[in-house]
């Protein structure tokens, strides 16, 4: 979850926020990770309590129309996010190799991801993700350490005192809402099923690995804020990563610039792998749920629906690599601002009301309080998105 949820967008937004606002919004990185922990915990709680996925919960407890609305969102999300990830991998690949076009390297990474998921299955995917998260975490935190930060009052105030400076609302919302992924949160339910988790013991294991994963996510976000706070950045898109690498090479050493670039590559490629492996589960589960088939893993990973969507996910964005994604980005931003509060609201309903007679799994008061706070935050973020 940590490797999938941290991609080019989080890296770029956090670094630009740090460059513009400094360390005053360090708190936004760990608070944002906490919000995503609450949502992921809710997904795991429902599945372990009922043996059914959130998709089935939507259909059985709310209505099948929710699944159809989600499918529309998923198709738009696929085009925009897969295209963006592919472009970011192209930028990273070209920068590291020093030759070739961004289109070539983007297509190469996409096809490599398809092969790893199709042939290797979950076991290979898990090992590849572990390697990528290790490289990503170590290289970016090392770059932040080399940049240097004083552990003074400004640092501790930015870390623990929630403040939004004048003109910094959009950056703060971006760091809070962006860290840790969006629709990819739903992939977690299928991954814990691949690891055969069940019962309260399985839920406690989820608390642990989500805690560790989102702690790494928070530290990664704070490291990018620290790096950005020491640099004057002016770029946009994936080019920001190259600008950071160039500035680190000039101000510190070429080695530090290369190390950071390697971390950027690990971030975007691990995000690609996570999306390529996890998102096809959602389409396959949508199809299975509408057919009314039993909620068993049913070997979704080898199903025609799963593999067909994997090919759509990995190949369709190639057609728009040379086009502007402005209109698709606008639609995605609007739908994305609706999805997160919807997920928080449905998890409140499913895990509080629908599990009210299940003492082992119904939400405790502190989880409900956290989900209410999460719902309010993402609703406000959505309102801000529409308002802008």
pLDDT at position 335 is 59
Positions in the chain short of pLDDT 70: 8, 235-238, 294-298, 321-337, 385-388
CB atoms closer than 10 angstroms to residue 364: 10
* Distance separating alpha carbons of residues 230 and 355, to the nearest angstrom: 49
pLDDT at position 60 is 92
CA–centroid distance for 325 within its chain: 20
Q: What dihedral do alpha carbons 235, 239, 240, 241 form, nearest 10°?
A: -170
Residue with tokens 């002016």: 234
CA angle 217, 234, 172 (to 5 degrees): 40
Give the contacts of 63 (CB within 8 A, at least 6 positions apart). none
* Distance separating alpha carbons of residues 251 and 244, to the nearest angstrom: 10
pTM here is: 0.88
* Distance separating alpha carbons of residues 262 and 328, to the nearest angstrom: 29
- Domains of the chain (ranges plus CATH)? 2-387 (1.20.1740)
pLDDT at position 325 is 40
* Distance separating alpha carbons of residues 14 and 378, to the nearest angstrom: 18
Give the contacts of 171 (CB within 8 A, at least 6 positions apart). 13, 16, 17, 20, 21, 25
Give the contacts of 9 (CB within 8 A, at least 6 positions apart). 84, 178
8-state DSSP, 206? H
pLDDT at position 40 is 93
Burial of 308 (0-12, 13-18, 19+ CB in 10 A): middle
pLDDT at position 314 is 93
The answer to whether 193 and 54 have CB atoms below 8 angstroms apart is: no
pLDDT at position 71 is 92
Largest pairwise CA distance in the chain: 62
Q: What dihedral do alpha carbons 332, 335, 338, 342 form, nearest 10°?
A: -110
Tell me the two tokens of residue 291. 């057919």
pLDDT at position 57 is 93
8-state DSSP, 117? I
* Distance separating alpha carbons of residues 305 and 291, to the nearest angstrom: 12
The answer to whether 42 and 242 have CB atoms below 8 angstroms apart is: no
DSSP letters for 335-359: HHHHHHHHHHHHHHIIIIIITTT-T
331-360 residue pLDDT tens = 555 556 678 888 999 999 999 999 999 988
The answer to whether 272 and 5 have CB atoms below 8 angstroms apart is: no
* Distance separating alpha carbons of residues 64 and 72, to the nearest angstrom: 13
User: 3-state class of 297 per DSSP?
Assistant: coil
Q: What dihedral do alpha carbons 255, 260, 261, 266 form, nearest 10°?
A: 130
120-169 residue pLDDT tens = 888 888 888 888 888 888 888 888 888 877 778 888 999 999 888 888 88
pLDDT at position 333 is 55
pLDDT at position 240 is 79
């Amino acid at each position: 979850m940590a490797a999938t949820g941290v991609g080019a967008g989080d890296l770029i937004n956090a670094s630009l926020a740090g460059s513009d606002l400094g360390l005053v919004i360090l708190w936004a990185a760990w608070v944002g990770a906490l919000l995503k922990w609450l949502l992921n915990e809710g997904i795991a709680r429902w599945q372990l309590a009922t043996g059914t996925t959130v998709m089935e919960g939507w259909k059985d407890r709310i209505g099948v129309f929710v699944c159809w609305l989600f499918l529309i969102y998923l198709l738009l999300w696929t085009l925009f996010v897969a295209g963006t990830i592919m472009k970011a991998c192209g930028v990273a690949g070209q920068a590291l190799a020093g030759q070739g076009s961004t289109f070539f390297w983007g297509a190469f990474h996409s096809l490599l991801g398809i092969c790893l998921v199709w042939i290797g299955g979950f076991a290979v995917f898990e090992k590849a993700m572990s390697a990528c998260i290790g490289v990503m975490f170590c290289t970016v935190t090392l770059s932040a350490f080399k940049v240097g930060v004083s552990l003074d009052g400004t640092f501790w105030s930015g870390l623990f005192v929630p403040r939004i400076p004048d003109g910094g609302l959009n950056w703060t919302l971006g760091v809070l809402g962006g860290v840790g992924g969006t629709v990819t949160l739903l992939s977690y339910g299928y991954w814990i099923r691949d690891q055969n988790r069940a019962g309260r013991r399985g839920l406690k294991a989820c608390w642990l690995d989500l805690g560790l994963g989102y702690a790494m996510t928070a530290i990664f976000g704070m490291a990018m804020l620290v790096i950005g706070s020491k640099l004057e950045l002016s770029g946009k898109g994936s080019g920001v990563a190259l600008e950071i690498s160039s500035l680190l090479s000039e101000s510190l050493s070429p080695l530090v610039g290369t190390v950071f670039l390697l971390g950027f590559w690990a971030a975007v490629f691990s995000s690609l792998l996570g999306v390529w492996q996890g998102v096809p589960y959602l389409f396959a589960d949508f199809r299975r749920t509408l057919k009314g088939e039993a909620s068993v893993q049913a070997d979704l990973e080898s199903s025609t629906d799963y593999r067909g969507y994997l090919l759509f996910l990995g190949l369709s964005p190639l057609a728009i690599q040379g086009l502007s994604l402005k209109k698709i980005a606008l639609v995605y931003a609007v739908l994305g601002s609706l999805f997160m509060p919807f997920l928080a609201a449905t998890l409140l309903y499913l895990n509080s009301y629908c599990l009210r007679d299940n003492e082992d799994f119904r939400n405790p008061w502190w989880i409900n309080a956290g989900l209410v706070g999460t719902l309010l935050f993402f609703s406000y973020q959505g309102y801000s998105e529409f308002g802008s």
